Amino acid sequence: MNIIDKIINRLHGSKANSKFTIQDLHEKEKTNEPIKKIKKRRRKKHKKTTNAFDLFLRNWSKRRQERIEKKRKEKVKKRIRARHRRERLDRGKRKELENIELKESQTRKRKKKSRVFHTSQRLEKLKEEYKLFAIILEIIENNVLKRNYHYIFNSTLIFIISYIIVYFIYQLTVILNASLFNIDSILYYFTLDFDDFSPLWTRLNIIFITFSGPFISLVIGLFLFNYLFKLKRFKSLQKLFILWMSLHAFNHFAGALIFGIVTKDGFGYVVEWLFLGVIMKFILIFIALFILIIIGYQSASKFLSTSNSLDRVRTGVKKTFLFNQAFLPWLLGSLILLIIRIPNNFNYPYETFMFFSFAFIIIPVFFNDMAKPYRIYKKIRRKYSLNIGYIILFLLLLTAFRIGLDNGLHFIITIDFSFNIVPL
């Protein structure tokens, strides 16, 4: 045995008498030769570029693809909604046809010729003849008043309550400022009476006293409309109360300016004693009208937020909800307040005309098609009922307003700012 063979045997741990040659080693290496792996060609990854223009192009292409995908999804959704609408309309037509067939079968059995058309046919004929009353006929046809009388009733009560509160704040502010100049006043449910022949009146205190009421109304309106309404702690009816009160406050500023200039009363004294010309008066009237229209347009989303259900403010029935929550309460509330003020409605027209200036707030509400509610507390339809608390408050305030101020409330307020220093 060779020296090399011995070394190999020792390395492999074999016995001394076992024979293992270099040839055997070569053969063993050939048999245990590993299989060469076929390397797959890998695609070269794009190197991360630091070029700002390339990055911009990539981001732009991604955004473009996202926009295209979003538009495609929106189109699909619109098609699905349109299909659902068509299906609903088809169901409505089927029901109408079934009702007509039932009527015809009943009349044939009775053998009586009836000239009365179906309700929907009669309403369609009236719509064609009187197109101006198409909206009212639609409301009657869809039984809007029957379904939503809770909304109309609660909103009307809140409209009247908020008017009385704003009226008291307005007049009491004027009374307190008049008392600074030792001028007495009498508060009625239709006006605030002063002694016009008192020697205490001057040009400056006339402007100060008559401007104080509209100014405090503007401050209250801005605070309620822009801050208090947006707080999350208030819910539907509480938000509605805040909204009506802010709108009345704005009307006691801008509406008071319009009809104060026209009637030369109230806020109109400020303009008269500033000796403004006719052109300036017209400019102020147009500015006041513009303010009322803007406030009305912006309040559409706030009226929608007073709903406690998403179903009542969806696109199809949004205007119906606004009609019940805003327009009808203003109409009914103004009518009730005008009846209460009889027989002193147009003897003192300054406050009376302000009910009509409120129309410049209510009508723009219907033109804000893009309006959406700020927050809806319930996505499902919820049972809505009359609020007993507002009914009690309405009765108390109305009694205090009409009966309590019938004979007038005489205010004699003396404010003394003098003080004495007593030596020790």
Task: Look up residue 51 and give its amino acid.
Answer: N
Range of the domain at 223: 154-411
Q: Does a structural domain hold residue 293?
A: yes
Residue 260 and residue 267 in contact, taking contact as beta carbons nearer than 8 Å: yes
User: Can you list the positions of beta strands (E) in 117-236?
Assistant: 185-187, 192-194
pLDDT reported for residue 359: 94
Whole-angstrom Cα distance, residue 250 to residue 358? 9
- State the number of CA atoms in the 13 A half-sphere of 368 facing the CB: 21
Q: Does a structural domain hold residue 244?
A: yes
pLDDT reported for residue 117: 47
Whole-angstrom Cα distance, residue 195 to residue 200? 10
Q: What token pair was written down for 159?
A: 């409209």
Q: Does a structural domain hold residue 351?
A: yes
Give the single-character DSSP code of 374: S
Any idea what the Cα angle at residue 220 is, between residues 234 and 205, rounded to 5°?
165
Q: Does a structural domain hold residue 121?
A: no
Handedness of CA 311, 313, 317, 322 (dihedral sign): positive
pLDDT reported for residue 58: 77
Q: Does a structural domain hold residue 283?
A: yes
Q: E strand or H helix at 288, and its extent?
A: helix 278-305
Q: Does a structural domain hold residue 277?
A: yes
Q: Does a structural domain hold residue 273?
A: yes
Q: Does a structural domain hold residue 58?
A: no
Mind listing the pLDDT tens digit for each residue in 383-413? 556 788 899 999 999 999 988 888 888 766 6
Q: 161, 344, 128, 123: which is closest to 245 by C-alpha? A: 161
Residue 299 and residue 325 in contact, taking contact as beta carbons nearer than 8 Å: no
pLDDT reported for residue 16: 44
Query: Residues of the chain whose pLDDT is less than 50?
Result: 14-18, 35-37, 39, 45-46, 111-117, 143, 378-380
Task: State the total domains in the chain.
Answer: 1
Q: 157, 318, 307, 166: which is closest to 248 by C-alpha? A: 166
Whole-angstrom Cα distance, residue 42 to residue 368? 60
